[in-house]
Amino acid sequence: MQNVSCSKRDRILFENLSLQISTGQLIHLRGPNGAGKTSLLRIIAGLSQAEQGQVLWNSRALDTTYFKELVYLGHKSGLTASLSALENLQYWAHLHQAPCSEALLYDLLTRLGLVGLEDLPVKFLSAGQQRRVALARLWLKPARLWILDEPFTALDTAGIALVEQHINQFIDGGGAVILTSHQPLTSSAKLQYFDLEYRL
């Protein structure tokens, strides 16, 4: 990311930001509410356009290869309320051409503490359980970069520990992660911070 700027409602959120995300790196993007953390993540994910600057992947403009190597999880769970946890993951995996046998998905949902809830419409799950269903995507799609906006929201202590462990394993395997979190991170010697300030 080189010299990236963004404004919202005539207010400059940030300008001339540059950031390099490398293999095996965890970046904790920090800043007060309204500083532009979500806007920056969406620009990096290719979901929003920067007013100035550019986002590159392997020194090239973002293309289909980049999106195949990316998992983005935003504030919202991105789940269809009327579908079950299993059906949501089957749909998402099909959309992203990720391997997902029914047996694999049941095993994954059990590991995420959702045993017995796999076939229940997600609208009947708690906020923390819905977050676990959404986070299951991190186990499904082979990727090189994870962009996570408040991944620990609504999770209990055990859920946070499980996700942090998986993030560490991903980084140790050569992946890269940039995330926002109000939860202090206890993980990885490779953790780095990138701070945004609220601008009037």
What are the structural domains of the chain? 1-69+143-200 (3.40.50.300), 79-142 (no CATH)
What is the pLDDT at residue 187? Answer: 64
What distance in Å separates the CA atoms of residue 192 and residue 176, rounded to the nearest whole number? Answer: 11
How sure is the predictor about 199, in pLDDT bands with cuts at 50, 70 and 90? confident
Cα-flanking dihedrals φ and ψ of residue 128, to 5°?
Answer: -65, -40
What's the number of CA atoms in the CB half-sphere (13 Å) around residue 62?
Answer: 17
52-54 β-sheet, strand order = 11-17, 2-8, 52-54
What is the pLDDT at residue 38? Answer: 96
Residue with tokens 């904790």: 28
Q: How far is residue 90 from each of residues 40, 82, 102, 128, 166, measured CA to CA in Å?
A: 29, 14, 8, 20, 21
Which position has the higher pLDDT, 10 or 174? 174
Please give the share of the chain, as a percent, with pLDDT higher than 70: 98
What distance in Å separates the CA atoms of residue 119 and residue 113, rounded to the nearest whole number? Answer: 14
How sure is the predictor about 189, in pLDDT bands with cuts at 50, 70 and 90? low
Alpha-helix residue ranges (DSSP H) falling in 97-146 = 102-111, 127-135, 137-140
Average pLDDT value for the chain: 94
With 70 as the cut, is the pLDDT of residue 143 above it? yes
β-pair partners for 70? 145
Which position has the higher pLDDT, 190 or 156? 156
Which tokens in the block code for residue 114? 């959702």
With 90 as the cut, is the pLDDT of residue 66 above it? yes
> Can you tell me the mean pLDDT for 134-152?
96
Least confident of 9-13, 15-19, 45-49, 125-129: 9-13
> Can you tell me the mean pLDDT for 38-53?
96
With 90 as the cut, is the pLDDT of residue 18 above it? yes
What is the pLDDT at residue 194? Answer: 96
- Count, in order, helices (H) and strands (E) of the chain: 7, 10
What is the pLDDT at residue 138? Answer: 97
**pLDDT digits 0-9 by tens, 71-128:** 999 988 899 999 999 999 999 999 998 888 999 999 999 999 999 999 999 999 999 9
What is the pLDDT at residue 188? Answer: 61
